[in-house]
Each structure stands twice: as C-alpha cells, then as structure tokens.
Amino acid sequence: MKKIVILAVIALVSFSASAMELSEYKVFYKLNESSTFNALVRYLNANEDQADQLNYIFDLTERKLNYANKKQSTVAAEKAMMFNLGNAKSILSQDQYRKYLIVLNVSRFSEYDTLAELK
C-alpha cells in the first residue's frame, strides 16, 4: 500500500514539475544574484560552510539552466531544478530546507502576480 501512495506522489510531483515552462525557472537566476543570495543566507540562518556550498550549487544550477534554455529543453530545466533541490536538501537542516522551499514558492508565484498586474 505504501508503494502505491509513494508512486502516486512521485507521479503528481513529476507532472506538476514538468508542467513548468522554461521561463518559470527564472527564480533560480534571481536567487543567485549577490544581494538576493546574501538575504537568503541571512533568512535561512546558514553558516559560512552552508553559504559557500549553496553558492556553488546555485552557480551549477545556473549553468544547467543556461544549457536547458539554449537547447529549449524543459526536461533539462527540470533536472537542473531537481539538482538544486536535492543538493540544497542535503546541505540545509530540515527547518532551513522548509524555509528555502517557501522562498522558492513565494518568489515563483509573486512573479505571476506581477505579470498579471502588468497585463
């Protein structure tokens, strides 16, 4: 029974992640900007080692997203996102990772609100 539930959750997450367009991954570029990154580190209360590792992960994520944009590949962009999330989860504590996910979601959806207001 657990396997069925886990498979259903994985399928749902895969579907929702794959439904994103390439432009929706812009939040990772924004988080890699110096001032935004420093604010994120302060919000997460990350130590110096965590900050260095996050910075490295964000740089690699940006490279992977640049490749995905160049190839117009949503699959590559999704892999870049999963790379970022998986590595951030291994670096951050459970509470820090929860805050990180909140920042990602708020940033992503506030961008939608801004675009809707412009139309």
Average pLDDT in the chain: 81
For residue 92, give the nearest of 74, 80, 104 by alpha carbon: 104
Q: What is the pLDDT of residue 107?
A: 78
Q: What is the pLDDT of residue 31?
A: 83
- Cα 60 to Cα 19, 30, 63, 67, distances in angstroms: 23, 14, 5, 11
Enumerate residue ranges in the chain where pLDDT < 70.
1-24, 109-119
- Cα 18 to Cα 6, 14, 21, 25, 80, distances in angstroms: 18, 6, 8, 11, 12
- Distance, CA of 28 to CA of 77 (rounded, Å): 11
Q: What is the pLDDT of residue 32?
A: 83
